[in-house]
Structure 1
């Protein structure tokens, strides 16, 4: 009843609207964008501007143009005083249209998705077959996002869809999460989403989400104030020049401010006088005082009953029905309708597109009407609206926003409403749920009679806070629960300490405090109650695994009585078991435990895995660390999907980082970058420094492999700063990434990489990372003919490699092949070819290509051109497929040195560095390789005089006078050129 309806119904022309002035260039851009969407692609339009600048008017214009193109056009907006209503703007836009299309949608949508959507959109509340929705704590939250995307695709099938969301700076967290999802996973088909917002008030998460839109899928339009000339046109000719100038100066060209000031002047008010009085909840602090005064003057000229209805309607909602406003104002329906005529005549409210409803002409008008009412009256009015809604059997979430503003301490009925509302939205909107639970606890007297209920609400609150990345709040709430729980409540204490408290403490970088609390709780459990301590043992084992205490982790897992604990804990024990063995260097035992975990988990459901996802994440990395990339990838995908479905965003950065590493090594660099960008976004929002260090370190590695070494070094520096000096896995991986980035920039000082290897080797947690660093250093040192140092890295690789792990053994052989090239290139080539065959069979395309490159370089060093060229060509082709630009360029340079002309990476170009033509660039490369003019002429089958002419041109363009200077000047630019 406070709800607002979608805008598919074509509104009648509004005679109160002033002419649209100064917006033709913007309308042209928006019209072009809509027409471009006819290509059946997704597009996001942002309308950005300050309050009152005209964004909403442009939204209306976009809607009209979309309808002219035959597109389904749905519009909604967020509201200032309804930010605790989940998905309010999206429901506002879609609900009525869904009600009219319910038959089609229930036929086209999968039944579980239709049922899930009906829990959010009242218009889809119909009888559907009872197809079960998949279980999982909070699972509806992310399944709903996918269901909405499917819904938009269905709505767009016939003629395209334009979804317009206004005032999204007031959007609730659930709506923001949905928009974030739709940006990262855009609907297929002709779908245009337009969002209008104030840049200074938009949330950080939404701002970050909107920056992820690819350039070809996004249009950002900044709506600026009118110029003085446009202001004069806006105000019209029936006003003196001096008055128009004064209004322009007072308004700054803002159309709404202009309108408010001119209305007040025409009403004989004094809009330029200062405001007096205390305006509660004042969100207009950035609005000029004169405009605020003008809005107050406008409302002050209403009759007493009209002002009462204006105040009451502002409490009811952004859009309202006359009967609701009458109930709020304690007037009869007939009185309310009469008074509404006055409000419409004064253009304070307007007839809404949906028959029988009204809305304020602008959110700022509603704000003024709301805040200018006295605080006590507003509180009582929210109570009257809540009572009215209860008579209509409105759902708890609709009641909650009024209850929370009207209920008094000790109102148990209000506690029940807020609790029910929180539980109903927690799977989809945990931030809103945590707010309502907080308010319920505020109202609930803290007396012995309410202890059980308070503890239960606190547990639910801590869970909602943790899921929504409110880690500090979740920790404090969990501590409150532990203080309140009886000492003998062993199952509940173990669950809260092991499953909530210690998890968020780690995410806050306070692992020492987390472990201390876990040990304290464990010591308090009697021997005959230890079967309740499974969560404590398991969480302590996780903490020991993080810090490399592998023997302790194994001991703790052995203490869990797996036959007496819930199956979820038994599954987690099996999942975590392999990692301590692998990290301690016992690969054979690790592989045995991996096989056991596969058997134990063969029948486990998503519900079984969800409570202990961090343990199952370690299982994913156990596959990765043993070289089982093909096994690891589907496991990563499954656990990440469960994390999204259950709202456990905190675990996504490590999951996505590991998944990105797997897909990159398996050859899909584009997918790897997509995954790692999501990991970084989630880590930044979540606020966990270790998660951020891990995600950034992984991105640095990808940038190095793809050839962007400058950016790789910058990202690695940020990663190591986030990780700090904590000797744990994320920070160590970040340091490995930094060492590799530094080496690829040409700094082959071995002390830094050696120190990082020593740290990582001390716990042997990550053999692949150790071997990647060893292989990088040996490869680069071999390229610099520093064979002795390369041999040192080969010896280190041999020392750290577990012979029970075939892929790791093969990588160590590749490191040895790099070093061996200087003394026995034929043996090096054969060893590299053997490595390539093993890696190719395992599907590790990137690593196999590195082995092929080494084989080609070794054969070239052995002067065996016939064997070298096929290996170099195969390596170059594989690197191109993997998007590894630098390594491809190296393979091509080696091919050219063997006298074969090959295309420059990135395709033909008009000119090279310093304006060199393709032929000049080709000859300059041969000069760099030490060829004489005669040798160049013979290689290229051209005359010696032609070569001399080209060399002269090269010298002139480079500004050098000798062949020796060519490398100094051209070398750095040539590297960048080859990288594309």
Structure 2
């Protein structure tokens, strides 16, 4: 109970301090929630709204106590009452015995990664009642967890690992009693903490936790406002008081001139009104809040005034000894000044010894801005020097150096660069700010360092997902290198083109690379890299002939004069181009050349040529070497964690999904897709998110989670510039394809055909030959469902033609399965069984376990239709076993239903969609199902739950799948039957 007592006591002390300032407004709290609304009616509409907000906070506490994380966000202008409302929330939570942790963001700590998270969680993580042994990701962030030497290997692209560890730590903190995390002033939040908040809102902690957030409306990052207005977050805006309410708050007659004067300056802001009303001289009305605070500071003794200004420079919260040193005071004078600041309530104590904070962040800001500008420069310099003597991390010193250093200050430049490099992996946005600051100090005449630091800045921006600015910085660096034979110019050009490709600026990338290939001699260092990038770009643009031709040029040049690593890189890129173009024999030969180098090389030898593994793994996917692809991509990810923290890892994570799905490791594939989806949120680039959603949709489809598959595919289509037609090695013909597949399985055949018909012409003809058999099969199945056997036969014949042109088992097996489905629909069940068996045999030669299981299921259905009950039962049991082992629950349940129809008992290894399905519904799905039972329409359900109709439709797809129902009436009957039972 140590945490609960500490939290409750601290919350009570802070609320008591708040009571000393608040005046009549506190009546609403002290009267209790039950009487708050009645009393608020006397204070006008805005006060009523505040009472409602308090009721909302109490409801959020109740929701969290139910066992699942709740979230609430307070927003409004500065001083509107957000902090007071949060203090009341903390008091209510503490009175209930909840654990309460809190922190407030600070404008001058925006440099410090995870500053808000550390302030809130570190005292508790390091306490005896904390979370126990900590993973390396947490030890590298939280001081109380005493990181060991070497730190964590978590890279910038994998901040999701840190988020996951923090999420787990929060869950452990809430094991004994509900936990309330209060984070205030998030409009000043550091980038890393903001990403953590987004991650917690996207994937809530599965524990009794309330996350309470507050920020200034209109000043907060768009990402924060969007995250807090998403479904699942209770958004509580605070409105200004009317002039009558202000008068009631200040106990002044509404017609008094002083009320009108105060209201004119600050509007209905209760904090500012109360601050101004409590001035020693109530007749003096300042021009604004900054002037008001400046007057408070001016009333202090000189030593206390100097200490206040120094504390504002030192940080929030500030260490007393640091503020005293910055002020240039003796310890005795400094402590006397501190007592005066505490007595005037300008600063307050915190839980940490010798650590103090201003009464409110705006007070600190006012004190800071009220200090002379020249004095502030010198004070930041003293703060930087003092922190450096104390051995502080470079990232903690950086904001002071940025404010105080002059151009050409080599020590400052070195520190900023060190701060950027130290924070690049964990907080690339912070690293970018440090590199930016260093650039401003490096003389313009120092071209070499201007280029080098821009390279670091571009890496940080790319890792943070700011690809647009990364491109601009790379272009600036390129312009600083007029000598096009300079290896740095070539490297920067290829890197810029890669960023442009990810930005969807394929034409710009192609023009840049073509121009570079014309300028750079073929024997120049890096020339092969330009050709490789051109070849890969052509693959993404689906210009397969150009991809193969350019890749061949790259390999020929590398063989003539390149290193072994360059030869391997070119061979891997060419193998990928040939594989997707259907030139299987050549692709296999070039793959072996790349494999020979890669498997013999150390990770250090592959540095600078790491793309060889990426292109090789994709080639191996298409050449049906799935285990080898996984081995190479796993090696690549491990190498990148050690040597290149700025490399975007989302594409590498997604590369694993395709082979995992094919090998039948669906649960693992779904986990990878979910992690990639979360990681894609960090950078903010919609293309990575669209790609992640595309793979997430496929993983969900294979597992039988059709509602999730449809929702992910629809969101991917919304974000994709090409919803039909992809822009990556795994994009196929785009998210429309996976959406159509999921819709077919969901029974929405007409909508599926509407999506598929535009694909049946040039889109499929221009698609990768190795994937076209899948597309033709999807089209054939859609037409069979629609009763158009002739068109289905035409599509099946196209699948067979494409498969015959390729020496690959997967297209051949898929085409055979399509033919089997056609034969079964035509009434030739025995032939269908033979064709499905041939399909399974073909697919089994490459270990495509899930595809084999699908073909076996079709074979069993065909055998049953042919009247061969014994054989059908044998095959269906094998299929059901494999589907269950793979994790394809919907298809497994279909096999179980076939077995029951044949009078056989299936092996029940996991919950099916029809057996015990009601218990498998989530809380939201059960709620919607019960409203369906009450005969409400989707529109009525959406209105009642304050959700979109599309969200209701998505949840209902999951309900239908889990209950094995095909209509709303059937859902209602199942729920009614459960109650009767």
d(CA) in 2 for partners of 1:25, 1:10: 23
1:824 aligned to 828, 832, 845, which one?
Answer: 828
Which residue of structure 2 lines up, in the alignment, with residue 77 of structure 1?
104
Q: Who is 1:814 aligned against?
A: 817
Question: Of residues 583, 587, 590 in structure 2, which corresponds to 1:590?
Answer: 587
2:577 and 2:973 map into 1 onto residues whose CA distance is 43
Deviations 1:697-751 (A, max 9, x none): 4455556664448747744642554558787754733353466567663339989
What secondary structure is seen at the aligned counterpart in 2 of 1:793? helix
Superposed CA deviations along residues 103-162 of structure 1, whole A, max 9, x for unmatched, are x99x9457xx3xx76665555668x5x6x5687976896776677678778988999987
Quote the Cα distance in structure 1 between the aligned partners of 2:968 and 2:329.
Answer: 80
* Alignment check: 8 A CA contact 1:859 1:867 kept: yes
Deviates more, 1:787-796 or 1:871-880: 871-880
CA shift, 1:587, in A, is 2.4
Distance 1:642 1:182, change over 3 A: farther
Distance of aligned partners of 1:914 and 1:670 in 2 relative to their CA distance in 1, 3 Å threshold: same
Greater mean deviation of Cα atoms: 875-884 or 831-840: 875-884
User: Quick check: 1:761–1:800 contact (8 Å CA) kept in 2?
Assistant: no
Distance 1:205 1:577, change over 3 A: farther
CA distance in 1, matches of 2:267, 2:431: 38
Note if 1:537 corresponds to 2:534: no
Q: 1:295 to 1:26 in 2, by over 3 A?
A: farther
Is 1:437 the counterpart of 2:435? The answer is yes
Q: Is structure 2 residue 459 aligned with structure 1 residue 470?
A: no
Query: CA separation in 1, counterparts of 2:208 and 2:237?
Result: 25
1:417 and 2:436 aligned: no
Which SS does the other structure have where 2:504 is aligned?
Answer: coil
1:555 aligns with 2:552: yes
Match of 1:736 in 2: 737
Identify the residue that residue 190 of structure 2 maps to in structure 1: 172
Aligned mates of 2:207, 2:684 — CA distance in 1: 35
Aligned twin of 2:506: 511
**Residues 626 and 673 of structure 1, relative CA distance in 2, 3 Å threshold:** same
Q: Which residue of 2 aligns with 1:520?
A: 515
Is the contact made by 1:657 and 1:698 (CA closer than 8 Å) also made in structure 2? yes
Q: Contact (CA 8 Å) 1:48, 1:196: kept in 2 or not?
A: yes
Aligned to 2:802: 800
Match of 1:280 in 2: none
Which structure's CA Rg is the greater one? Answer: 1
Work out the CA distance in 2 between the residues paired with 1:755 and 1:812. Answer: 21
Q: How many Å apart are 1:558 and its aligned residue?
A: 1.1
The change in CA–CA distance for 1:134 and 1:343 in structure 2 (over 3 A counts) is closer
- Which of 749, 766, 770 lines up with 1:767 in the alignment? 770
TM-aligned CA deviation for residue 814 of structure 1: 0.4
Kept in 1: contact 2:816–2:835 (CA 8 A): yes
What are the superposed Cα offsets for residues 767-794 of structure 1, whole Å, 9 maximum, x if unpaired? 23x2222222222333444322222111
Stretch moving more, 736-745 or 389-398: 736-745
* Comparing 373-382 and 863-872, the one that deviates more: 863-872
Q: Does 1:369 align with 2:370?
A: no
Paired with 1:880 and 1:979, the residues of 2 have a C-alpha distance of 25
Cα distance in 2 for partners of 1:139, 1:900 equals: 50
Secondary structure of the structure 1 residue equivalent to 2:116: helix
CA distance in 1, matches of 2:609, 2:972: 49
| Counterpart-to-counterpart distance in 1, 2:871 and 2:234 | 55
Greater shift, 359-368 or 160-169, is seen at 160-169
Q: Does the CA-based 8 Å contact 1:509-1:689 persist in structure 2?
A: no
CA contact (8 A) 2:408 2:443 kept: yes
What are the equivalent positions in structure 2 for 1:124-203 lying under 5 Å apart? 165-179=183-197, 196-198=214-216, 201-203=219-221
| Inter-partner Cα distance in structure 1 for 2:891 and 2:860 | 13
Which position in structure 1 is the counterpart of 2:115?
88
Task: Give the structure 1 partner of residue 978 of structure 2.
Answer: none
Q: Which residue of 2 aligns with 1:13?
A: 13
Q: Given the superposition, is the C-alpha separation of residues 141 and 620 from structure 1 closer, same or farther in structure 2, using an over 3 Å criterion? A: same
Q: Is the 8 A contact 2:252 2:259 kept in 1?
A: no
SS of the residue 2:323 aligns to: helix
In 2, are the aligned partners of 1:422 and 1:437 still within 8 Å (CA)?
A: yes
Q: Does 1:48 align with 2:74?
A: yes
Q: 1:834 to 1:272 in 2, by over 3 A?
A: farther
Pairwise CA distance, 1:531: 4.5
Contact 1:264-1:294 within 8 A present in 2 as well: yes
Kept in 1, the 8 Å contact 2:64–2:209? The answer is no
1:291-370 alignment, distance < 5 Å: 306-329=304-327, 332-370=330-368
Q: Is 603-612 or 809-818 further displaced after alignment?
A: 603-612
Count of paired positions: 884
| Cα distance, 1:401 vs structure 2 | 0.5
What is residue 501 of structure 1 aligned with on the other side? 496
5+ residue gaps, structure 1, are 1-6, 277-290, 918-969
1:965 alignment counterpart: none
Cα shift readout 1:520-556 (whole Å, capped 9, x = no counterpart): 33444445x5354343233233223323234224313
**C-alpha separation between the residues in 2 aligned to 1:765 and 1:834?**
24
Structure-2 separation of matches of 1:698 and 1:620: 17
SS in 1 for 2:357: strand
Paired with 1:868 and 1:358, the residues of 2 have a C-alpha distance of 76
Q: Does the C-alpha gap of structure 1 residues 249 and 881 become closer, same or farther in structure 2, counting only changes over 3 Å? A: farther
Matched-pair contact (CA < 8 Å) for 2:565–2:597: no
CA contact (8 A) 1:876 1:892 kept: yes
- SS of 1:561's equivalent in the other structure is helix
Closer, same or farther: CA 314–727 of 1 in aligned 2, 3 Å: closer
Q: Distance in 1 between matches of 2:73 and 2:602?
A: 44
> How far apart, in 1, do the equivalents of 2:487 and 2:404 lie?
37
Name the counterpart of 1:786: 788
Distance 2:74 2:600 in 1: 51
Report the Cα offset of residue 832 of structure 1.
1.1
Pair 892,326 (structure 1): closer, same or farther in 2 beyond 3 Å: closer
